[in-house]
Structure 1
Amino acid sequence: MHRHSLFNRMTKWAAKAAGHPVAFCAAVALVIGWALTGPLFGFSETWQLVINTGTTIVTFLMVFLIQSAQNRDSAAVQIKLDELIRAMEGARNTLLDLEELDEKDLEKLRARFEALAEADRCKTQQSSRNPAAPE
């Protein structure tokens, strides 16, 4: 059985609820309701402040909610990729946990893999021009 912290359970629930079409429809209905009350309040500054404050608070909280969900998903994907690398025969285990490297080291690896990809593309192009040539 998986044990999740209260924060994780709340963020999962809130992210799922916020991404539901009903939540979007409720937000649209709220904005329409606010707009319709404009004449009632004479389109006052207080009336405008209500929507501005409300949307600012929701946006502020959603940033943290989305970041939490992305961090969790990203960590899970990294673990799954690490397991695939570890389990594949011939794969380099030195590629495990690359997300922990600094930008300079990541750039070096990216350049190395770009060079490998380019060399493979050249081989593929040559073999497609000369089908009798071994790969």
Structure 2
Amino acid sequence: MIQNLPPPRAPECRDLPLDALAARIGDELESLAALSAEVQSALSLCIFSEHTDPSAIRGLQGIDRITQALEDLGRLMSAVSTEMPRDVNLHAVPILSRLRLHELVNNLDPSVERTAAVEDEDEGEIQWF
């Protein structure tokens, strides 16, 4: 049986100010840097085997490099956004549709209020992915 489905909606046609997008990218990079620093702190509390491979430890130290790079890139994008002309716009759908994470789309979209990072709960079940 064939169902009568509504016609597909046309993609939303709206502009995305480039300077605002760059500022949002800067904010997101800084948030990711903070998250990376939290991961680094959590790992430093873990107890590793006495026989942990030195190359594995060196690999974990790469998190510090990631954190520093994200912090720098966040500051750079925030500064770049202030130097951009205010009248440059992009089409929102082709740009934002490349992202998979719904929260990231919302955080980068200047027309949507940024969501606050969820605070860690001290209690509850931890689920490993």
Shorter-chain TM-score range: 0.3 to 0.5
Q: TM-score, normalised on structure 1? A: 0.34
Structure with greater proportional strand content: 2
Greater relative contact order, per chain length (Cα 8 Å cut-off, separation 6+): 2
Q: TM-score, normalised on structure 2? A: 0.35
Structure with greater proportional helix content: 1
